Amino acid sequence: MNFKDKIIKEKLPKHVAIIMDGNGRWAKQRGKNRIFGHKSGVKSVKEVVEAAGTLKIQYLTLYAFSTENWNRPKIEVDALMTLLLNSINSEKKDLIENNIQLKVIGNTEALPTKIRQKISKVIEETKINTGLTIVIALSYSSRWEIVNAIKNISKEVKENKIDISNINSDLVSKYLTTSEIPDPELLIRTSGEYRISNFLLWQIAYSELYFTKKLWPDFGKEEFYEAIYDFQYRERRFGKTSEQILRK
Ligand code: FPP
């Protein structure tokens, strides 16, 4: 089935977030090491970026490295950092040529200095771009982000900059790392795992969830288009009834 041609241009999600999972299992199935799986995962990142660009989706958030991933064996963490650095280096030109903006969310202070500097430079150089925005979640966890927001809001309450009566969900959203980004309408997770793993817990309150058994290195353009097609046939009610939605 060709999903791309079936996609309704007027019903596209503005923001798609992806939990890219299954690189390790994909490599193991081939008798290779986990790093081989991550390297193959980079190809899927490229495919999905191209597909999102083709559809003119505005935001694509990729969970590349969680706070918990720091606990993996050092050799794997180092390899993932090198892979990220190499990918940013090799893709920088393409990002600029294709009007793509790069953003990063997460505790970037925990990243090696070299990577932090490189990322800041590319963020700066792509900030005027108006096409797709790729948001890479790096050393990110949702609980870390929410705790940070609570700390910052509390500080401002203490300094009389915020009145407690003015704390509402819009204000909380402004204190998250995603303050400038709309909430994702669609969250995809690959590899047949049915969990959220500390990713965008606040932001996915009303997101449609799409789970596929495909391992991340096997997830390409066609699989991305299929997820968008599936999303377009969901009924998003936001707590209302079907009748209320259809009447609109
Ligand atoms: C999860 O698979 C994947 C990761 C922790 C890393 C994802 C990173 C990439 C795809 C490469 C670099 C990314 C960018 C944005 C250039 P897993 O290792 O948990 O797989 P498993 O569950 O099968 O062990």
Strands 133-140 and 186-189: unpaired
pLDDT tens string 75-100:
999 999 999 999 999 999 999 999 99
pLDDT tens string 169-181:
999 999 999 999 9
pLDDT tens string 215-235:
999 999 999 999 999 999 987
- The percentage of the chain sitting over the pLDDT mark of 70, rounded to a whole number, equals 99
Q: Is residue 121 very low, low, confident or very high in pLDDT (cuts 50, 70, 90)? A: very high
pLDDT for res 73? 96
2 is catalytic: no
Question: What integer best gives the mean pLDDT of the chain?
Answer: 96
Domain 9-140+182-247 has CATH 3.40.1180.10: yes
pLDDT tens string 135-158:
999 999 999 999 999 999 999 999
Q: Which residue, judged by its Cα, is nearest atom 8 of ligand 1? A: 64
- 69, 98, 129, 148: the catalytic one is 69
How much of the chain is in helix, strand and coil states, percent to nearest 5?
A: 50, 15, 35
Q: Which helix (H) or strand (E) holds 43?
A: helix 34-55
Q: Which of 115, 101, 94, 105 is nearest to 63 (CA)?
A: 105
Determine the residue of 18, 19, 21 to mutate for testing ligand 1's pocket, defined as the one with the most ligand atoms within 8 A of the Cβ atom: 21
The whole-angstrom separation of Cα 37 and Cα 69 is: 15
69 is catalytic: yes
Q: Which residues' Cβ are closer than 6 Å to ligand 1?
A: 20-25, 34, 38, 41-42, 45, 62, 64, 69, 80, 83-84, 87, 136, 191, 216
Q: Which residue, judged by its Cα, is nearest atom 7 of ligand 1? A: 64
Q: Which residue, judged by its Cα, is nearest atom 3 of ligand 1? A: 21
| Least confident piece of the model among 151-165, 187-201, 230-244 | 230-244
